[in-house]
Amino acid sequence: MEFGARTLPPPAPVDTSKVVRDALSKTMTPNVAAMKAIKLTSDEEWEAFAATANAKGAKGACKFAEMFNVKVVEDTIAGVNVHWVTPPEIDKNHQQYLFLFIHGGAWFLNAGLSGTTEAVLIAARMKISVNSIDYRMPPKYPAPAAIDDASAVWKELLKKTPPASVIMGGTSAGGNITLSSVHRFKDLGLPLPGALYIGTPAVDVDLTGDSRFINEGVDRLLITWKPLPQEAGAMYAGELGKTHPYVSPIYGDFTGFPPSCIIAGTRDLMLSDAVRARRSLRRAGAEADLHNYESFSHGDYLVIWNAPESEEHCTELNRFVLNNLSNPLPLQSDIHEGSEKFEIPKSTIYRDVGHS
């Protein structure tokens, strides 16, 4: 089907906060042609592109950690680089929980500290301990290096950590690697995490799914799938191929998967990926929630982090954790005590008061 030029009006105030509407009003029309003109033709060019982005991202992540008073400490687990991300206070309901975080970045970006920004936000807002895996990436390390690293860390954590007390997940490529890693855990016969967080995931590295076409030029962040994400996915796939479940998890068997919390936006280039992930999980008998935010592009809940919707996202994720992880604390009656701080406002209307 062919579609002509489209005009997208501003979102309605009943559906979106003033913070989001203001951010969108300042966004220029995405330049699809400019994005499609980006060409990285050698490993050296990919590495140079990543190095520049990572340096900028690391500075931003450090400022973010300072803003939220979150401590980020580098470590290694089973020979894999990780970062422990710790808020100033751990909620009593999360004292024995762990968030095993997988950063995004089109499979080749956000190495080192630059991959901890979302982990900082999760730690700060949910008041939970986070371990962020700094997995190996292409061009030097294509798949299955990333899930090899995730598997190595998971095996080591299992020696002292009950699997039911861990939620694992991340955004974009992080959602992809999370789902692929669980396929790998199943193949290895390992216990699975108690729950999964799947943020606007790339469930297929190839150009599939309606929203990859419909939302081209609508998504203000990704803008288009070609050429950068498409070529990054092919580089990541390596010799495994694009349809291997360790590369594109949508092609795997989701039987026995943990409960999953999925998030996306109506303008998200990967909205279809979120829908496809949920349907695959449900068809396999797994529990899966899908939260879809009006007018959000890919990962806008991180970019517009000061929006009420971003806070609501973390609230929903926290509620999901409380409902699905097993708390080993002896006083089970206290599990939800004090959780009123995480309640969703009863009104569905976003008030502008206090959010300007």
For the chain, give every domain's residue range: 18-327
In CATH terms, 18-327 corresponds, of 3.40.50.1820, 3.40.50.10860, 3.40.1010.10, 2.40.170.20, to: 3.40.50.1820
pLDDT score of 7: 83
Query: Where does residue 136 fall: left (phi above 0), alpha (psi -120 to 50 degrees), or beta otherwise?
Result: beta
Helix (H, G, I), strand (E, B) or coil at 60: helix
pLDDT score of 226: 93
Structure tokens at 295: 């007018």
Measured CA to CA, the distance from residue 91 to residue 181 in angstroms comes to 28
Q: What single string gives the DSSP state of each residue in 246-285?
A: TTSGGGS--TTPPPEEEEEETT-TTHHHHHHHHHHHHHTT
pLDDT score of 193: 98
Q: What single string gives the DSSP state of each residue in 94-154?
A: GTT-EEEEE--STTTS--GGGGGHHHHHHHHHHT--EEEE----TTTS-TTHHHHHHHHHH
Measured CA to CA, the distance from residue 311 to residue 75 in angstroms comes to 29
C-alpha distances (whole Å) from 62 to each of 19, 40, 56, 85, 173 are 24, 28, 10, 12, 22
Helix (H, G, I), strand (E, B) or coil at 213: helix
Element housing 167 (H / E) = strand 166-171
Burial of residue 305 (number of CB atoms within 10 Å: 0-12, 13-18, 19+): buried
Q: How many CB atoms lie within 10 A of CB 66?
A: 11
- List per-residue pLDDT tens for the chain, 356 residues long: 666 677 888 999 999 999 999 999 999 999 999 999 999 999 999 999 999 999 999 999 999 999 999 999 999 999 999 999 999 999 999 999 999 999 999 999 999 999 999 999 999 999 999 999 999 999 999 999 999 999 999 999 999 999 999 999 999 999 999 999 999 999 999 999 999 999 999 999 999 999 999 999 999 999 999 999 999 999 999 999 999 999 999 999 999 999 999 999 999 999 999 999 999 999 999 999 999 999 999 999 999 999 999 999 999 999 999 999 986 544 333 333 333 333 433 333 333 433 33
Cα atoms found within 13 Å of the Cα of residue 96, Cβ hemisphere only = 15
Measured CA to CA, the distance from residue 31 to residue 45 in angstroms comes to 22
pLDDT score of 352: 41
Q: Beta 195-199 vs 166-171: how paired, if at all?
A: parallel
Query: Where does residue 200 fall: left (phi above 0), alpha (psi -120 to 50 degrees), or beta otherwise?
Result: left
